[in-house]
């Protein structure tokens, strides 16, 4: 069964969502992050995806007290990304209670450094965050497109134990138009030993059921929850019945 991973993006300690990563297209929701984690946990969710958008801008973690509160909720593991540019930053998020650290730009631009972290912290805790636009990897808050694709990144790190990859299709993120089914099925088929997480575009439970039928393993659900297109009851029912 595909694992459902609700998403929480944080600015100033509050839940927000961006459209295609644009800070100027921001919606703030009336929900405390820790309260949302508790609601997800009550539905049977085991992992929550969190991005520290302040940290991404500042190039260092900025919402660690919020992380500590979220990580204190029983039964849920937090995967945390945003601003993880140094080993000190990675240690800070683990010390604050994160179960997994998501690294994107550093992995793409400083592969030797990410390789060091894979070895130091373990591939079971380090997650490669690969954002793609028209087949190319994009970094620095989606402001810079590199001249290689996600496969090149995976090929670099797989020999060092890489096992977890979150791939976000930027063109679909926050648009509620459905994910890039072909992209993820091709990646999962090419790298069967890696757990890929689908990210971007989930609009309904029908999308999730289709991903599950394609034998994909994990999916992040963000805006669809906050916009009421997928209810917490639907998530709970799906988890219970599978």
Summarised one tens digit per residue, pLDDT across range 117-164 is 999 999 999 999 999 988 889 886 666 677 899 999 999 999 999 999
| Predicted pLDDT at 229 | 95
Contact 101, 80 (CB under 8 A): yes
Q: What is the pLDDT of residues 189-222, one digit of tens each?
A: 999 999 999 998 899 999 999 999 999 999 999 8
For 162-176, the pLDDT digits (tens) are 999 999 988 776 556
Residues with Cβ within 8 Å of 173's Cβ and at least 6 positions away in sequence, in order, are 18, 19, 20, 21, 199, 200, 201
pLDDT cut 90: percent of the chain above it: 75
Q: Is 182 marked active-site?
A: no
- CB of 201 within 8 A of CB of 210? no
74 is catalytic: no
Tell me, what CATH number does 237's domain have? 3.20.20.70
Q: Quick one: DSSP state of residue 2?
A: P
Which one from 9, 54, 169, 173 is the annotated catalytic residue? 9
Q: Which range among 27-36, 63-72, 147-156, 194-203 shows the weakest confidence by mean pLDDT?
A: 27-36
Pick the residue with more confidence: 144 or 232? 232
Can you tell me the distance from the alpha carbon of 7 to that of 49, in angstroms, rounded to the nearest whole number?
5
Residue 48: the pLDDT is 98
Domain around 138: 3-241
Q: What is the mean pLDDT of residues 90-116?
A: 97
Specify the pLDDT at position 114.
98
Query: What's the pTM value of the predicted model, to 2 decimals?
Result: 0.92
Catalytic residue among 54, 131, 173, 207: 131
Number of structural domains found in the chain? 1
Residue with the larger pLDDT of the pair 211 and 56: 211
Mean pLDDT of 32-48: 96
* Residue tagged 């540019």 (tokens): 85
Write down the pLDDT at residue 30: 58
């Amino acid at each position: 069964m595909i694992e459902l991973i609700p998403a929480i993006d944080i600015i100033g300690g509050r839940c927000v969502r961006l459209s295609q990563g644009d800070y100027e297209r921001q919606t703030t929701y009336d929900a405390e992050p820790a309260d949302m984690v508790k609601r997800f946990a009550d539905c049977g969710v085991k992992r929550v995806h969190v991005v520290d958008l302040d940290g991404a801008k500042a190039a260092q973690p900025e919402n660690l007290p919020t992380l500590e509160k979220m990580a204190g909720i029983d039964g849920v593991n937090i995967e945390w990304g945003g601003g993880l540019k140094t080993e000190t930053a990675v240690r800070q998020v683990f010390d604050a209670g994160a179960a997994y650290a998501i690294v994107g730009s550093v992995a793409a631009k400083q592969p030797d450094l990410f390789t060091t972290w894979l070895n130091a912290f373990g591939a079971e805790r380090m997650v490669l965050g690969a954002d793609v636009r028209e087949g190319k990897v994009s970094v620095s808050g989606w402001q810079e497109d590199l001249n290689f694709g996600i496969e090149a990144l995976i090929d670099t790190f797989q020999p060092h134990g890489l096992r977890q990859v979150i791939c976000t299709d930027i063109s679909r993120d926050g648009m509620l138009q459905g994910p890039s089914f072909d992209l993820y099925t091709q990646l999962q088929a090419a790298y069967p030993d890696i757990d890929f997480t689908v990210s971007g575009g989930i609009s309904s439970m029908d999308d999730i059921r289709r991903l599950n039928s394609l034998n994909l393993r994990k999916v992040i659900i963000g805006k669809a929850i906050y916009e009421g297109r997928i209810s917490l009851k639907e998530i709970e029912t799906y988890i219970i019945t599978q």
